[in-house]
Chain A
Amino acid sequence: MLDLLQSASDGVLYGATYALIGIGFTLVFGVMHKINMAYGAASVGGAYLGLMVLKLGAGLPVPLVFFGSFLAGGLLGWMVYLACFHFIPLSSPLATLMSTVGMLLLIDEVIVHTTDGMPQNYPALFDDVMLRFGEFTLRGDLLLVFLVSVACMAGLLALLYRTRLGLATRAVSQQAIAAQLCGIRLAQVNVTTFVITGLLGGIAGAMIGAAVGTLSPLLTTPLTVKGLIVTVIGGLGSVPGAIVAGLLVGGFENVIQLYRGVTERDLYVMLLLFAFLVFRPGGLFAPAGGRN
């Protein structure tokens, strides 16, 4: 019983990174009705670029690496937008899907080539701090991952619900024509959405690096798949849905891993997705369609 609780809570803490990735997919989908397949790869890429801070000089504080990953993620988000969306006709649903798949492969290749395919150590903020409650423990690094991710989500929600930019973003994702009639510029909202989701992705990549302790090109595919699963389970376009689904998938997969081992883990995650597609295809929080 304690084992179950322990692995569920570890999983939920780590699941915060899935939630961030799910938010990235879901926001872009909400605003543009497009899937950005390169998002997981760009997020890992942002984490890699953040590591370059360490190369600048040892002795630099570790939070700078996180911050570097954050900024690099935003930059990559902007570049993905330019390369995959800006010059490509948005009316064709397949064109941007393929351009972002191409970008996913490109980022992967660049990572493999610049690191010779070797995993890179990612610094931890502190070593093996544990909060103990009797037998139950909270790992310090996972707690940090969770708190940083939650802070980013809170920041995003404040941006969405408290600012003019957030108002424009919500308006475009709910009724793009009416948003234009209010004087909101679609292209501007599109590009800022990519930068903002890129920033979140950079943080997610950094947090994954911090929790796992290494970065490797092998991270991108599972992260992309998990992110998409979280997006679907949460309800395409729903930010609260992505948050809940991310934590749910994180906890679920860790519990499965406890009972069935790591090799069967993703199989059960797929089954969870399948169950949702059959019984609740709109996801947990399908955005309200309204009456019109």
Chain B
Amino acid sequence: MPALLEVADLVTAYGKIEALKGVTLEVAEGGITCLLGPNGAGKTTLMYSIAGILKPRRGSIRLRGEELGGCAPHEAVSRGIALVPENRLVFPSMSVIDNLEAGAYRRQGGRTGRGEIDADLQRMFGRFPRLKERSAQLAGTLSGGEQQMLAVARALMSRPKLLLMDEPSLGLAPLVVEEIFRIVSELHRDGTTVFLVEQNAHMALKVAQHFYLMEQGRVSFSGDPGSLAEDEVIRRAYLGSAK
């Protein structure tokens, strides 16, 4: 499969501290790619760099061969990148429906008709029935799992080519985690490319076709699920069991 996203030698720093020290990886079009790594490895920094929230110091980020590195977040959204951020970051005092409207912000008032956005809203409510029941409720009053669903739906409202997800299972009960992963594989089946940051390697193994491991700002492993399970160190750290 061709690469939808290619990151090459990316360096992103907070002041003097380089959190990414030359990251190179690719995300295959139409696939699910998973990024593993310990706390503080730089996974969130990478996600924010791709989404344009953080400005990389060096290196390149290409989407279908077009350079993105250093572009502003609204341009990244326009080019088809959406991020479900770490900790969900819903708009707490806005209703569920307004959160979703905000997700479609760049499509509103432009060439996209209102009807198309309304159709997408209905599609989200079909995929996330809990959100439909709570469409008028303030997002800050939703449960953690519902907020995660809302964050995913909000990101999808921009109709992304590439969906970035930063630890969507963080702090959720096992049943909710399963639901999130069921949605990830549904999205994949519908043709969305997903780049997923995940600590829960057991779950990720069920859905992802390619894995990267990041440690201290560098990619230290790249391989398919089979070779991930073969790797003694990774198995002990992420799968928590001997063979």
| Residues of chain A at the chain B interface (Cβ within 8 Å) | 164, 167-168, 170-171, 174-175, 177-185, 287-292
Contact = CB atoms under 8 A, between A and B. Distances in A.
B227 interface: no
B92 A178 contact: no
A175 B105 contact: no
Contact of B85 (A181, A184, A291): A181
B101 A167 contact: yes
Interface stretch (B136-144, B207-215, B228-236): B136-144
Interface in B68-98: 72-74, 77-78, 82-83, 85, 87-94, 98
A292 B88 contact: yes
B74 A180 contact: yes
B155 to A, nearest CB: 8
A181 B83 contact: yes
Contact of B89 (A164, A175, A185): A175
Contact of A171 (B82, B88, B102, B147): B102
Given A178-B85, A182-B105, A292-B87, A287 B78 contact: no
Contacts of B89: 175, 177-178, 181, 292
B161 interface: no
A185 to B, nearest CB: 5
A181 B78 CA distance: 11
Nearest to A237: B93
12 contacts: A174-B92, A177-B53, A178-B85, A178-B91, A178-B102, A180-B74, A181-B155, A182-B102, A182-B106, A183-B106, A290-B139, A292-B140
B154 interface: yes
Interface of B: 51-53, 72-74, 77-78, 82-83, 85, 87-94, 98, 101-103, 105-106, 108-109, 138-142, 144, 147, 154-155, 158
Contact of A291 (B53, B72, B147, B155): B147
Contact of A185 (B74, B90, B98, B140): B74
Contacts of A174: 91-94
A179 B91 CA distance: 8
A211 B80 CA distance: 54
A181 B76 CA distance: 9
B158 to A, nearest CB: 7
Contacts of B72: 185
A287 B92 CA distance: 9
B42 to A, nearest CB: 17
Given A175-B89, A177-B85, A288-B92, 8 more contacts: A164-B105, A167-B102, A178-B102, A181-B73, A181-B89, A182-B158, A289-B140, A290-B90
Given A183-B74, A183-B105, A289-B140, A175 B83 contact: no
